[in-house]
């Protein structure tokens, strides 16, 4: 029976995979392999055992893999188009595509499922081609972590730019960080729990944190009543509150609105205290 990728995508997100598979004389595993080969996102295994409110949202359907059409015969091997019809990716496009594939795999099956072999299989290329882009699994995970961090930082800076004073910028920065953590945080949390990724990124984190805190320390020490040690402790404490809140919303351990309210209350109280000291000193 001929179907489109969009039709199959709609069906597997409307009822359990086993029910859809049985209708076409397939096993659930067989249908799952077809979905993976056609790059059709499928619900995680626990999706239908959860309540409707706790289920993962339906993702967007990506374009068909290179060489595959949008229409296929279910249960039969999808014929490849001739090599002459394929569009060759640039090196950077290939890297981004592989990171996208690894990201989707990690969120669906967990980070342990992300291997060079599996990423190559899902991307429809050889392991050698993946190794041409990334030296190994750790290099792939590091590139993915750096991309997530850069995206979050870009969004944070865009929000800060709308602020007209110090307190407003801090508030917008905190809100932006929490929203990005809720949206993109689950993947980054998984990556940062991986020792080789965390250790490799540590020097970059330290340098980035020092650069971000330098203007704040200068303000507190240069004009305020704080000594450098107290100023560092104060900014580190507020940063820890923000990071902890980000981890909570990323793992969905508490309602977002509640975490946001508590975090903002603590952060803004700390900022107000520092600004008060600065004003008194001036």
**Per-residue model confidence (pLDDT) at position 261:** 93
pTM greater than 0.75 (yes/no): no
**Domains in the chain: boundaries:** 1-80, 89-135, 145-281
**Per-residue model confidence (pLDDT) at position 159:** 74
CA-based radius of gyration for the chain? 24
Q: Which of 176, 30, 197, 188 lies closest to 107, judged by CA?
A: 188
Name the token pair of 233: 């402790």
Name the token pair of 86: 């394929």
Q: What is the DSSP string of 161-203?
A: TT-SSHHHHHHHHHHHHHHHHHHHHHHHHHHHTSHHHHHHHHH
State how far the Cα of 70 lies from the Cα of 277, in Å rounded to an integer.
Answer: 64
State how far the Cα of 38 lies from the Cα of 92, in Å rounded to an integer.
Answer: 23
Angle at 160 between CA 159 and CA 166, to 5 degrees: 145
**Per-residue model confidence (pLDDT) at position 258:** 94
**SS3 category, 226:** coil
- Write phi, then psi, for 3 (nearest 5 degrees): -135, 165
**Per-residue model confidence (pLDDT) at position 110:** 87
Measured from the Cβ of residue 219, the count of other Cβ atoms closer than 10 Å reads: 17
State how far the Cα of 206 lies from the Cα of 186, in Å rounded to an integer.
Answer: 22
**Per-residue model confidence (pLDDT) at position 55:** 85
Quick one: 89-135 is in which CATH superfamily? Homeodomain-like (1.10.10.60)
Across the chain, which has 282 residues, the per-10-residue mean pLDDT values are 86 88 82 87 85 85 80 58 57 91 89 92 90 93 90 76 75 82 79 88 79 72 72 82 86 89 90 64 50
């Amino acid at each position: 029976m001929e179907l489109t990728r969009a039709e199959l995508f709609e069906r597997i997100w409307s009822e359990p995979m086993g029910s859809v598979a049985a209708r076409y004389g397939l096993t659930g595993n067989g249908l799952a392999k077809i979905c993976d080969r056609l790059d059709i996102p499928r619900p995680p295994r626990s999706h239908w055992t959860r309540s409707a409110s706790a289920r993962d949202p339906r993702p967007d359907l990506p374009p068909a893999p290179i060489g595959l059409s949008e229409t296929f015969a279910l249960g039969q091997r999808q014929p490849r188009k001739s090599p002459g019809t394929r569009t060759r990716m640039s090196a950077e496009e290939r890297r981004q595509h592989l990171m996208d594939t690894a990201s989707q795999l990690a969120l669906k099956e967990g980070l342990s499922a992300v291997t060079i072999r599996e990423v190559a299989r899902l991307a429809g290329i050889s392991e050698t081609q993946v190794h041409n882009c990334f030296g190994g699994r750790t290099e792939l995970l590091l590139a993915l972590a750096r991309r997530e961090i850069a995206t979050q930082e870009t969004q944070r800076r865009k929000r800060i730019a709308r602020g007209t004073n110090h307190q407003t910028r801090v508030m917008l920065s905190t809100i932006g960080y929490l929203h990005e953590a809720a949206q993109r945080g689950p993947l980054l949390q998984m990556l940062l729990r991986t020792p080789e990724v965390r250790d490799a990124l540590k020097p970059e984190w330290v340098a980035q944190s020092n650069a971000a805190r330098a203007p704040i320390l200068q303000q507190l020490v240069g004009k305020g009543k704080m000594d450098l040690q107290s100023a560092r402790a104060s900014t580190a404490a507020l940063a820890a509150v923000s990071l902890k809140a980000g981890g909570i919303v990323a793992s969905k351990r508490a309602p977002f609105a509640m975490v946001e309210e508590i975090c903002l209350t603590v952060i803004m109280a700390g900022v107000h205290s520092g600004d008060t000291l600065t004003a008194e000193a001036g």
